[in-house]
Chain A
């Protein structure tokens, strides 16, 4: 039995960090790394590797207006699949051509490259509704985040 990601609407409190302060994009990525560390998915070094991905390839992880999906490759500092959601009290610029500024950072860790298919497909369902990103950014508590994420478990949204 392989370890499975919890479904999005059952994300633990440790995987949700709301209204965090980040003066720049590196700090925003580190807030996501802190949540991944707090939820047991990865060591702190994973945050530096997520930053290195952006330094190497540019801010391609800003995949929609206001939303960054921080991640790095599987490695020894990843202990299990992890997905965290961080909202920022002030949006930050990642230097993306179209989708800045970012107010919601999703952090992802995986021990194998194809591990996230199910939960990432659920994310695609969720964010096809463009109102979800500002709603997440404005969420006041973790229950509200889980309610918003619960929409992703409806298979007919696509």
Chain B
């Protein structure tokens, strides 16, 4: 299982999302490789990913992908992240 957390620059918000996605996956007892990427690098970073986590504004920047794109509204809400990941990987 490979999951990519995506933001515009790759230095801030994607790392927040990555850290909290790892916590959510621990809750779900799911093993996954979670990485952070910026929009410019998403094509490479997400080429073999099952799930891309991002914000509503960045969905259109992702382009064509085979991954499930999961939109997170509140990056600090572990309940939201856990529930949406459970649907995406379940």
Contact = CB atoms under 8 A, between A and B. Distances in A.
Given A63-B75, A97-B56, A99-B74, A57 B13 contact: no
A99 B80 CA distance: 14
A128 B61 contact: no
A124 to B, nearest CB: 4
What size tier do the contact residues of chain B reach? 20 to 34
A63 B56 CA distance: 10
B52 interface: no
B12 interface: yes
Contacts of A115: 11
Contact of B11 (A63, A71, A158): A71
B16 A69 contact: yes
Interface string B18-46: 01100100000000000000110000000
Nearest to A128: B76
Interface of B: 7-13, 15-17, 19-20, 23, 38-39, 54-58, 61, 73-78
A-B pairs, top 7 by smallest CB distance, nearest first, are: A58-B57, A60-B57, A60-B55, A63-B75, A71-B12, A124-B19, A120-B15
